[in-house]
Amino acid sequence: MRRAYVKQVDSLVISTSEEGKIVKKMKVSQILQGKNSQKIHTMSESNKYDLFGSKRADSRALAAEFVATALFVFTGCGVAVSGQTLNDRNSADGAANDSGLLVAIALAFGFAISVLAYTIAPVSGGHINPAVTFAFVVLGDFNLFEFGAYLAAQCSGAVLGAAIVWGTYESTVLSDPPFGLGINTVHPSYSQGSAFLGEMMGTIILVWTVLMTAVSSKSIAGNLAPIAIGWSVMLAHLLLVPLTGCGINPARSFGPHVVAALGGLGDEVGTDGWWVYYTAPFVGAAVAAVTCQQIFGVMKPEAAAAETDAVQGKSSASVASSEHEMKA
Tell whether 321 is covered by a domain: no
Tell whether 192 is covered by a domain: yes
Residue 281: domain span: 51-299
**55 versus 56: which is more confidently predicted?**
56
Tell whether 304 is covered by a domain: no
First to last CA, the chain: 7
Cα angle at 143 between 161 and 151, to 5 degrees? 15
CB under 8 Å to 113, separation ≥6 — which residues? 72, 128, 226, 229, 230, 233
Tell whether 295 is covered by a domain: yes
Tell whether 323 is covered by a domain: no
**296 versus 16: which is more confidently predicted?**
296
Tell whether 4 is covered by a domain: no
Q: What pLDDT is attached to residue 318?
A: 55
Average pLDDT, the chain: 78
pLDDT at 103 over 60: yes
Q: What percent of the chain has pLDDT over 90?
A: 48
For residue 66, give the CATH number of its domain.
1.20.1080.10
Tell whether 39 is covered by a domain: no
**Cα 216 from Cα 328, distance rounded (Å):** 44
Q: What pLDDT is attached to residue 282?
A: 98
HEC readout, the chain: CCCCEEEEECCEEEEECCCCCEEEEEEHHHCCCCCCCCCCCCHHHHHCCCCCCCCCCCHHHHHHHHHHHHHHHHHHHHHHHHHHHHHHHHHHHCCCCHHHHHHHHHHHHHHHHHHHHHHHHHHHCCCCCHHHHHHHHHCCCCCHHHHHHHHHHHHHHHHHHHHHHHHHCCCCCCCCCHHHHHCCCCCCCCCHHHHHHHHHHHHHHHHHHHHHHHHCCCCCCHHHHHHHHHHHHHHHHHHHHHHHCCCCCHHHHHHHHHHHHHCCCHHHHCCCCHHHHHCHHHHHHHHHHHHHHHCCCCCCHHHHHHHHHHHHHHHHHHHHHHHHHHHC
pLDDT at 204 over 80: yes
Q: What pLDDT is attached to residue 219?
A: 82
The closest of 148, 164, 154, 137 to 74, measured between CA atoms, is 164
- Lateral strand order in the sheet of 22-27: 5-9, 12-16, 22-27
89-93, 119-123, 148-152, 312-316: the lowest-pLDDT one: 312-316
pLDDT at 101 over 50: yes
Mean pLDDT of 201-213: 95
Q: What is the pLDDT of residues 240-281, one digit of tens each?
A: 999 999 999 999 999 999 998 888 776 666 677 899 999 999
Q: How many domains does the chain have?
A: 1
Q: What pLDDT is attached to residue 100?
A: 85
- What backbone torsions phi and psi does residue 312 show, to the nearest 5 degrees? -65, -40
CB under 8 Å to 210, separation ≥6 — which residues? 52, 132, 135, 225, 229, 232
CB under 8 Å to 221, separation ≥6 — which residues? 213, 214, 227, 228
Q: What pLDDT is attached to residue 11?
A: 52
Q: What pLDDT is attached to residue 59?
A: 87
Tell whether 317 is covered by a domain: no
- What backbone torsions phi and psi does residue 54 show, to the nearest 5 degrees? -75, 125
Q: What pLDDT is attached to residue 303?
A: 52
Q: What pLDDT is attached to residue 28?
A: 43
Q: What is the pLDDT of residues 222-238, one digit of tens each?
A: 889 999 999 999 999 99
- What backbone torsions phi and psi does residue 12 show, to the nearest 5 degrees? -110, 150
Q: With cut-offs at 50, 70 and 90, classify the pLDDT of residue 30.
A: very low
